[in-house]
Structure 1
Amino acid sequence: MSGFRQEWRDAGSASGHMQTVADSGTYNRMQTAYRAYIGHSAMCDDCGHGEKRCAEAERLWRAYRAARN
């Protein structure tokens, strides 16, 4: 998984665990792509406020999924 790494998380008095975290560049790309998708879906009459996806919403969703990889 490019752009991701494992980090140890201390759970205080209990045992800790490893957690997958995104580096800042990957996180920023993911957040930007997701915000574009959500912003479009909220304002697009064809998307029905998230109940379905128009062609543009599909394109934005694919861009978000690609940013995660």
Structure 2
Amino acid sequence: MSGTRWEWRDSGSASGHMQRVADSGTYNRVQAAYRAYINHATACAGCGHGETKCATADELWCSYRAART
């Protein structure tokens, strides 16, 4: 996922660790793309509740995948 950075996380009593964290802009883009896909899939008669997908759902899913990379 582009727009990520590593941050130190204190895990309490154990030694901490580094964790990959998305920048807020990246997070917002990914969430917006996923929300568009879910909103379409729940309202579209051609999507079959996740068992089949229409062409629009395929495009929205590709947009979501692209936002994650």
Q: TM-score, normalised by structure 1?
A: 0.90
Residue identity matched to 1:47: C
Deviation of the 1:2 alpha carbon: 2.4
Greater helix fraction, Structure 1 or Structure 2: 2
Tell me the equivalent position of 1:19. 19
Q: Structure 1 runs of 4+ off > 2 angstroms? A: none
In 2: Cα distance, 1:35 partner to 1:27 partner:
12
Tell me the equivalent position of 1:4. 4
Structure 2 unaligned blocks of 5 or more: none
- Count residues with an aligned counterpart: 69
Tell me the equivalent position of 1:42. 42
In 1: Cα distance, 2:44 partner to 2:23 partner:
32
Instruction: Check if 1:30 corresponds to 2:33.
Output: no
Deviation of the 1:41 alpha carbon: 0.7
In 1: Cα distance, 2:65 partner to 2:24 partner:
17
Superposition RMSD in Å: 1.1
Structure 1 unaligned blocks of 5 or more: none
Q: TM-score, normalised by structure 2?
A: 0.90
